[in-house]
Structure 1
Amino acid sequence: MSITRKITFYISIFVLFVAGLGFTAQPAQAAACAKYHIVKRGEYLAQIARYYGVTWRYIADINNLKNPSRIYAGNKLCVLLVGDEADNGNNNGDNGDDYDGFPTFSIVSVVEDEDVTIKTYNLPSGDSFDVLMGEMGTKGKGGIKVDTINSGSGGSKQFVFDIPKALRGEYQIAIRLQSNTGSDYFAYNWFYNNTSGGGGTGGGYKPPKGYTGFPTFSILSVIRNEDVTIQAYNLPPGDSFTVLMGAMGTKGVGGIKVTEIDAGSGGSKQYTFDIPSALRGSYQVAIRLQSNTGSGYFAYNWFYNNTAVDP
């Protein structure tokens, strides 16, 4: 036997021996993880990231997630590496350990073709946002940059922005605040471009004092082609939601309106909704709760259209 073959033979034996002992390779990140999170049903990556004060990209990178939109209940995710505790892996300055939830804003007033005044709520401290305006339906994505604002100490603030020339004469205008620091925070709304117009989709809802976070919901049960029962969590008190269902992969955006619900005192509530006839026979159905008060709150999930089966 040649020397090369002998070396190859002994290496193979060693590898089999190690495998027999039950040793397995672990990602480098796992050994250096400072904090883990067990995914609960209905959670998604951006939601988990906001809870821990990091970005979803940070979690995706350290867990080598090829598709960040595909995480499942029971998954164990590293949310913070050793050495990142000082800044929580965040690149947006010091938001402090007490920040929770996400920013929203309402429309205060509009001067036709001139300017719009907004009021923000729950701005993260030390962040910076580009202000974008665009055509209705775009949510301001890829819109015209009209200004940059610094959130300073965060919380609630009032700002006035000029309406860009290219959008003057538009009946409705989308407006967006998009963080430019890498924090991934954003908020959007829209307004009627007339002096008496003011507040977008109502725009007058203000989260009550003490409310933090955002709503989520899980699927409790399904009766095929008939109805689905959900359990909502952390509903904002006094808000109202439109319930939408649509094809899988749409997140319910632009879906069929099933009903409307009032959050009432908020918190945790259980609801049952009929599955619309147009979606009966679908293997999977997307469902969405979308605030119709202008608060910007929403939540979405999906379910298998099979009796007693849920995701």
Structure 2
Amino acid sequence: MLFQWLSRIPRILAGLAAAALIAASLPQAALAASVPTITILSVKAGESVKIRGENFPKNTDFTVRMDVVGHQGIGGTVVTTTNSGNGSFEAEYTIPATLKNERTIAIRLESASGWFSYNWFTNNTSSPTATPAPLAGGGKPYIDIIGVEKNKTVTVQANRFPAGQTFTVRVGPFKDFFKKYVETGTLYSGNGGSFKFSVNLPESVRDVDMITIRLDSNQGAYAFNAFKNVNSGTVVIVDPPQPTGTACSITATAPSKTLKPREDFDATWTVKNTGSKNWEMTSVDYKYLSGSEMQKYGKVFDFKQTVKPGESIKIIVDMLAPDKAGTYTTTWAIVQGSTTLCNLPLTIVVK
């Protein structure tokens, strides 16, 4: 699939010129060399970011820049200079005052000889990660696009994912991804390795020609790919792995009838807890994740009861059909904190 290769190279590449908005290529003379990379180790919101640089050219001075995302840090505020030493190093840099309130920040290291590497981070306090988690099967995680239903759903094959990590799923336009992405939910990697999952495309990318999907965890693992927003491949609704002891089965959904424009309706899911742990009413909610927003009221609601293994619950959300004819998909989920326990997709037809 077009742009499939994007998933197999880091988002941070070194070279003499940028070859794309998300990845850059190495100069021809350096194609056989290792690729310099920046790993975000920790962040103190509004204060500093700690990084690890690897595979840098030895004993080379680099200018450190920071900027809002979307420009790969090019022309950003100069923070300091740093020397690459033996090619691998850790350093902590102060976030410029002009950026301390930004949600996401790009960091770029560039040398006078043309080498550069860049990354970005969320400006939230996070704990240090001493070393990246081991990856199942070795190598970096990557994702393949299996199928696309235009404006609705993308089915993805995850490969080489680390086990037991929760990934934030972000979807946005290819050209302006870092400025306009939407967080569509979270994904748990289970035993790691390879697995399939589906993501409903948010309204923000409706009729966008090229779309990027990216997954990243607090432990520093990430993968991304881009795809054409046209019907292609094989689209199947696949739930990702679930945390140990959590599992569900959707036994009924409603409505099944065709709706009129702006018709009131109840979106209903009957869900059975097929795992081994309680869904405690004190810690489990159901919330909107992605797709068409048709709910009349809030986006997150408390469970009214504890659901034990083997028991079922009926989840009802008051909704209003869109005012134009078409097919609309919304995805809600049963969640516990930042962990998704069960995805709740629903598709309606308006005529």
TM normalised by structure 1 equals 0.53
1:288 corresponding residue in structure 2: 213
**2:40 matched to 1:105?**
yes
Matches within 5 A, 1:19-58: 42-44=4-6, 47=9, 55=15, 57=17
**2:155 matched to 1:229?**
yes
Structure-2 separation of matches of 1:210 and 1:137: 29
Change (3 A) 1:304 1:169: closer
Deviations 1:136-169 (A, max 9, x none): 88775433212211222233x33244565xx189
One-letter amino acid of the counterpart of residue 185, structure 1: S
Question: Residue 75 of structure 2 is aligned with which of 123, 127, 142?
Answer: 142
**2:84 matched to 1:122?**
no
Structure 1: give runs of 5+ residues left out of the alignment: 1-38, 61-67, 71-78, 81-86, 193-197
Matches within 5 A, 1:58-207: 68-69=19-20, 89-90=29-30, 99=34, 102-107=37-42, 116=48, 118-120=50-52, 122-126=54-58, 127-134=60-67, 140-155=73-88, 157-162=89-94, 167=97, 170-171=100-101, 174=105, 176-180=107-111, 181-189=113-121, 191=123, 198-199=125-126, 204=129, 206-207=131-132
TM-fit CA distance, 1:286: 0.7
2:222 corresponding residue in structure 1: 297
TM-fit CA distance, 1:228: 1.8
Structure-1 separation of matches of 2:120 and 2:213: 18
Structure-1 separation of matches of 2:179 and 2:100: 24
Compare CA radii of gyration and give the structure with the larger one. Answer: 1
What count of residue pairs does the alignment treat as equivalent? Answer: 228
Question: Residue 261 of structure 1 is aligned with which of 174, 187, 198?
Answer: 187
TM-fit CA distance, 1:186: 2.1
1:63 corresponding residue in structure 2: none
Change (3 A) 1:40 1:293: same
TM normalised by structure 2 equals 0.48
1:154 aligns to what SS in structure 2? coil
TM-fit CA distance, 1:225: 4.7
Deviations 1:249-286 (A, max 9, x none): 44475233332213344443321122335655x37451
Structure-2 separation of matches of 1:259 and 1:163: 28
Structure-2 separation of matches of 1:49 and 1:187: 7
Aligned CA RMSD, in angstroms, stands at: 4.7
1:8 corresponding residue in structure 2: none
One-letter amino acid of the counterpart of residue 90, structure 1: A
2:29 aligns to what SS in structure 1? coil
Structure-2 separation of matches of 1:104 and 1:260: 21
1:43 aligns to what SS in structure 2? helix
Change (3 A) 1:136 1:188: closer
One-letter amino acid of the counterpart of residue 234, structure 1: R
Could you say which structure has the higher helix fraction? 1
Change (3 A) 1:175 1:265: same
Structure-1 separation of matches of 2:144 and 2:99: 43
2:9 aligns to what SS in structure 1? helix
Could you say which structure has the higher strand fraction? 2
One-letter amino acid of the counterpart of residue 37, structure 2: F
One-letter amino acid of the counterpart of residue 89, structure 1: A
2:322 corresponding residue in structure 1: none
2:171 corresponding residue in structure 1: 245
